[in-house]
């Protein structure tokens, strides 16, 4: 019978023809993928909205955009786009170093701070190594650990906050790196400077500590890693231009630590990992301190606005020091979909936080719209 013959034939081909996936690194086949926030265009298309009718509050972007000076500097850099960028971004590193009161050898730029997380993986993670992270921490630490064949060790987060004692208890002789985002995404929770200092000072010699400070600029007085670097602790701090500086689309961030730490990371970097437009815009963004403090103030007001709105609806929120809120809505996925039908893109959470959605702080008008849509969605 012809039908059976075809099946036989397919089986035969599968044996003699080596599938491409058979040639892949065995780890890559099990690699989970990152789920980004939905783009405005996709939702507009799907639900028949105009682009300007959709509010994207899904990726913790700056709703007021980048500093006009940063945009201008980027446009200007475009004129020289036929030239390769400055390899390690030394001009920008010098400027950042001055701001932090450190030297430029203590900084490495990345294509987003996510690239620096990946470089940490290349330099330090090996199969068998254990990487300690919070169960509700920013997901990229786990993704990079798995990609490098290391073992992510997820530590419980009572009250959705990183518990540094539990994290210390999870340390074994195989532990290589510990990641602490403060404020954490998606919970918005923080750890204090004192807490971080005594935690780091208690770490054994074979453990590296990474403080992810993606939202540090939204706090008045974020924890300062400098004293720990000065003491010779094995620490690295991560910052990004994607959040308060509003340059998420350009992909630029940085890591800082001891010159020894940065030298190692520089070895694993591609020669031109940053583009010239990002370098120029980031530099101008740093110069525009007014823009940053304005965005910080507006975000603080937006947090109060959304928190107040949520309380009126009897919704529990997790207090946040960042530019987003984790809101307990009951059935997270359902509310996410209902908001989306109303032109509001929020972020659905994984099953472990299934009762929540994450909502970025938008402009005052966007916050009003998202609260109104949330009210309708909850009644449905
Ligand atoms: C947004 C975010 C980053 C920044 O990523 P980029 O690659 O710089 O855009 C890093 N860490 C956390 C916790 C974040 O939420």
Write the pLDDT tens digit of every residue in 334-366: 999 999 999 999 999 999 999 999 999 999 999
pLDDT reading at 380 higher than 80: no
Q: What is the whole-number distance in angstroms between the Cα of residue 376 and the centre of ligand 1? A: 31
Shared domain for 316 and 238, answered yes or no, is no
What confidence score (pLDDT) does residue 26 get? 85
Q: What is the whole-number distance in angstroms between the Cα of residue 8 and the centre of ligand 1? A: 50
Structural domain ending residue among the three candidates 288, 318, 353: 288
What confidence score (pLDDT) does residue 14 get? 62
Residue of the nearest CA to atom 6 in ligand 1? 112
Q: What is the pTM of this model?
A: 0.94
pLDDT reading at 12 higher than 70: no
pLDDT reading at 114 higher than 60: yes
Q: What is the whole-number distance in angstroms between the Cα of residue 242 and the centre of ligand 1? A: 7
Shared domain for 259 and 360, answered yes or no, is no
Cβ partners under 8 Å of residue 178, min gap 6: 131, 132, 133, 167, 171, 203, 207, 208, 209, 210
Shared domain for 375 and 312, answered yes or no, is yes
Q: What is the whole-number distance in angstroms between the Cα of residue 113 and the centre of ligand 1? A: 6
Residue 206 belongs to some domain of the structure: yes
pLDDT reading at 16 higher than 70: no
- The confidence band for 104, taking pLDDT boundaries of 50, 70 and 90, is very high
What confidence score (pLDDT) does residue 35 get? 84
Own/partner pairs, 195-204, CB within 8 angstroms, 24+ separation: 195/164, 196/164, 196/223, 197/227, 197/228, 199/164, 199/167, 199/168, 200/228, 200/233, 200/235, 201/228, 201/231, 201/233, 202/168, 203/168, 203/171, 203/178, 203/233, 203/234, 204/171, 204/175
- pLDDT mean over 80-84: 97
How far apart CA 322 and CA 239 sit, in angstroms, is 14
What confidence score (pLDDT) does residue 37 get? 84
Closest by alpha carbon to 336, among 302, 378, 379? 378
pLDDT > 70: percent of the chain:
96
- Could you tell me if the CB of 338 is within 6 A of ligand 1? no
Shared domain for 145 and 104, answered yes or no, is yes
Question: Alpha-carbon dihedral of residues 72, 74, 79, 85, nearest 10 degrees?
Answer: 150
What confidence score (pLDDT) does residue 170 get? 98
Shared domain for 359 and 226, answered yes or no, is no
pLDDT reading at 379 higher than 90: no
pLDDT reading at 1 higher than 60: no
| 3-class DSSP string for the chain | CHHHHHHHHHHHHHHHCCCHHHHCCCCHHHCCCCCCCCCHHHHHHHHCCCHHHCEECCCCCCCCCCCHHHHHHHHHHHCCCCCCCCCCCHHHHHHHHHHHCCCHHHEEEECCHHHHHHHHHHHHCCCCCEEEEECCCCCHHHHHHHHCCCEEEEECCHHHCCCHHHHHHCCCCCEEEEEEECCCCCCCCCCCHHHHHHHHHCCCCCCEEEEECCCHHHCCCCCCCHHHHHCCCCEEEEEECCCCCCCHHHCCEEEEECHHHHHHHHHCCCCCCCCHHHHHHHHHHHHCHHHHHHHHHHHHHHHHHHHHHHHHCCCEEECCCCCEEEEECCCHHHHHHHHHHCCEECEECCHHHCCEEEEECCCHHHHHHHHHHHHHHHHC
Backbone angles phi, psi at 192, to 5 degrees: -80, 165
Do the beta carbons of residue 65 and residue 366 sit within 8 Å? no
Residue 13 belongs to some domain of the structure: no
- pLDDT mean over 279-292: 98
What confidence score (pLDDT) does residue 220 get? 85
Q: What is the whole-number distance in angstroms between the Cα of residue 115 and the centre of ligand 1? A: 10
pLDDT > 90: percent of the chain:
89
pLDDT reading at 2 higher than 60: no
The number of the ligand 1 atom at minimal distance from the alpha carbon of 184 is 13
What confidence score (pLDDT) does residue 196 get? 98
Residue 17 belongs to some domain of the structure: no
Cβ partners under 8 Å of residue 75, min gap 6: none
**CATH number of the domain residue 284 falls in:** 3.40.640.10
- Could you tell me if the CB of 275 is within 6 A of ligand 1? no
Structural domain ending residue among the three candidates 288, 305, 326: 288
Structural domain ending residue among the three candidates 288, 305, 321: 288
Tell me the pLDDT tens digit for each residue of 129-180.
999 999 999 999 999 999 999 999 999 999 999 999 999 999 999 999 999 9
- Could you tell me if the CB of 213 is within 6 A of ligand 1? no
Shared domain for 313 and 362, answered yes or no, is yes
Out of 162, 186, 210, 212, mutate this one to test ligand 1's pocket (max ligand atoms within 8 Å of CB): namely 212
Shared domain for 223 and 266, answered yes or no, is yes
Domain that holds residue 319: 30-59+290-379
Tell me the pLDDT tens digit for each residue of 212-265.
999 999 998 899 999 999 999 999 999 999 999 999 999 999 999 999 999 999
What confidence score (pLDDT) does residue 36 get? 86
Residue 146 belongs to some domain of the structure: yes
What confidence score (pLDDT) does residue 15 get? 63
The number of the ligand 1 atom at minimal distance from the alpha carbon of 322 is 15
**CATH number of the domain residue 317 falls in:** 3.90.1150.10
Out of 134, 137, 243, mutate this one to test ligand 1's pocket (max ligand atoms within 8 Å of CB): namely 243
Shared domain for 166 and 294, answered yes or no, is no
Shared domain for 74 and 189, answered yes or no, is yes
- Could you tell me if the CB of 112 is within 6 A of ligand 1? yes
Residue 10 belongs to some domain of the structure: no
Shared domain for 159 and 260, answered yes or no, is yes
Residue 300 belongs to some domain of the structure: yes
Shared domain for 223 and 318, answered yes or no, is no
Residue 131 belongs to some domain of the structure: yes
Question: Alpha-carbon dihedral of residues 279, 281, 283, 284, nearest 10 degrees?
Answer: 160
Number of domains in the chain: 2
Residue of the nearest CA to atom 12 in ligand 1? 214
CB atoms within 10 A of CB 105: 16
- pLDDT mean over 58-72: 98
Out of 189, 240, 274, mutate this one to test ligand 1's pocket (max ligand atoms within 8 Å of CB): namely 240
**pLDDT higher at 108 or 1:** 108
Shared domain for 103 and 188, answered yes or no, is yes
Residue 21 belongs to some domain of the structure: no
């Amino acid at each position: 019978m012809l039908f059976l013959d075809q099946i036989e034939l397919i089986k035969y081909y599968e044996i003699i023809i080596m599938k491409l996936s058979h040639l892949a690194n065995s780890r890559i086949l099990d690699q989970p993928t990152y789920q980004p926030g939905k783009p405005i265009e996709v939702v507009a298309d799907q639900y028949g909205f105009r682009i300007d009718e959709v509010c994207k509050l899904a990726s913790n972007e700056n709703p007021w955009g980048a500093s006009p000076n940063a945009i201008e500097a980027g446009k200007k850099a475009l004129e020289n786009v036929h030239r390769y960028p400055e390899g390690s971004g030394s001009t920008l590193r010098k400027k950042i170093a001055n701001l932090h009161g450190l030297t430029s050898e203590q900084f490495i730029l990345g294509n987003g701070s996510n690239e620096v997380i990946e470089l940490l993986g290349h330099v330090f993670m090996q199969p068998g190594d254990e990487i300690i992270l919070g169960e509700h921490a920013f997901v990229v630490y786990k993704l990079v650990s798995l990609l490098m064949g290391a073992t992510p060790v997820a530590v419980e987060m009572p009250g959705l906050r990183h518990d540094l004692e539990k994290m210390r208890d999870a340390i074994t002789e195989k532990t290589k790196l510990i990641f602490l985002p403060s404020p954490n995404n998606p919970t918005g929770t923080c750890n204090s400077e004192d807490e971080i200092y005594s935690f780091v000072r208690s770490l054994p010699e074979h453990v590296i500590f990474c403080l992810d400070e993606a939202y540090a600029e939204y706090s008045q007085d974020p924890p300062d890693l400098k004293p720990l670097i000065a003491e010779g602790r094995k620490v690295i701090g991560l910052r990004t231009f994607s959040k308060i500086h509003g340059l998420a689309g350009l992909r630029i961030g940085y890591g800082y630590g001891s010159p020894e730490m940065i030298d190692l990371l520089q070895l694993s970097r591609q020669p031109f990992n940053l583009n010239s437009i990002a370098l120029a815009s980031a530099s101008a963004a740093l110069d525009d301190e007014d823009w940053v403090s304005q965005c910080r103030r507006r975000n603080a007001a937006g947090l109060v606005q959304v928190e107040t709105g949520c309380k009126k609806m009897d919704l529990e929120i997790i207090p946040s020091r960042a530019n987003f809120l984790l809101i307990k809505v009951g059935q997270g996925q359902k509310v996410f979909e209902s908001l989306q039908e109303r032109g509001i893109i929020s972020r659905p959470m994984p099953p472990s936080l299934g009762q929540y959605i994450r909502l970025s702080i938008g402009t005052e008008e966007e916050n009003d719209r998202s609260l109104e849509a949330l009210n309708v969605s909850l009644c449905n």
